[in-house]
Amino acid sequence: MTHLPKTCLVTAALFALIGMGWGIVMSASADHSLSPAHGHLNLIGFVALSIAGLYYAVSPDAARSRLGWAHYGLSVLAVIVLVPGIAMAISGQGEALAKAGSVLAILAMALFGWVVLRFGAGRSAG
Ligand code: HEM
């Protein structure tokens, strides 16, 4: 038994709640300047992590693996670094964090691809 699917999905819901709250604030203030950061929070934080959570729910070998947890950790770190990084880049405060976050994000996705290749998809992984 592993908590990885639930952890991914709960984290995704948290990111979505923050992202949607941010969207409401943008709408209410009529200031959409940070919408790319909002979009990446929702798409990488909610959509990608939800898809991963559903994958781990149907692929128990992957869900039990250390690689799966490493993928989860790297994905969360990527969101935490990339989203403020994009907001800082847009508001002229430098691009270093956005660059670091984008490297983390691509590494996380590459690791997810490796997990799928290594453990397969579904119960009879192979
Ligand atoms: C309460 C829910 C949400 C609200 C109020 C909201 C609000 C907004 C607003 C005001 C914009 C800027 C639009 C513009 O300037 O043209 C925007 C952009 C965007 N939103 Fe949301 N949003 C919500 C949820 C979501 C979700 C769930 C996703 C993805 C799963 C998402 C993805 C995006 C994307 C990709 C953009 C465009 C980013 C860009 O290219 O600048 N949003 N949203």
Cα 124 to middle of ligand 1, angstroms? 38
Which ligand 1 atom sits closest to the C-alpha of 21? 1
Inter-CA distances, 86 with 21, 93, 101, Å: 18, 10, 9
C-alpha to C-alpha distance for 31 and 93, rounded to whole angstroms: 18
Residues with CB under 6 A from ligand 1: 16, 19-20, 23-24, 26-27, 32, 35-36, 38-39, 42-43, 46-47
DSSP string, the chain: --SHHHHHHHHHHHHHHHHHHHHHHHHHHT--TTHHHHHHIIIIIIIIHHHHHHHHHH-HHHHTSHHHHHHHHHHHHHHHHHHHHHHHHHTTS-SHHHHHHHHHHHHHHHHHHHHHHHH-SSSS--
pLDDT of residue 80: 98
Pocket test for ligand 1, best of 14, 17, 33, 42 (most atoms within 8 A of CB): 42
Smallest CA separation from ligand 1 atom 4, residue: 23
Q: What is the mean pLDDT of each run of 10 residues along the chain (126 residues)?
A: 91 98 98 98 98 98 97 98 98 98 98 98 72
pLDDT of residue 12: 98
Is the alpha carbon torsion for 83, 73, 43, 5 positive or negative? negative
C-alpha to C-alpha distance for 9 and 90, rounded to whole angstroms: 29
Structure tokens at 61: 């070998």
Pocket test for ligand 1, best of 25, 31, 35 (most atoms within 8 A of CB): 35
pLDDT of residue 70: 98
pLDDT of residue 125: 46
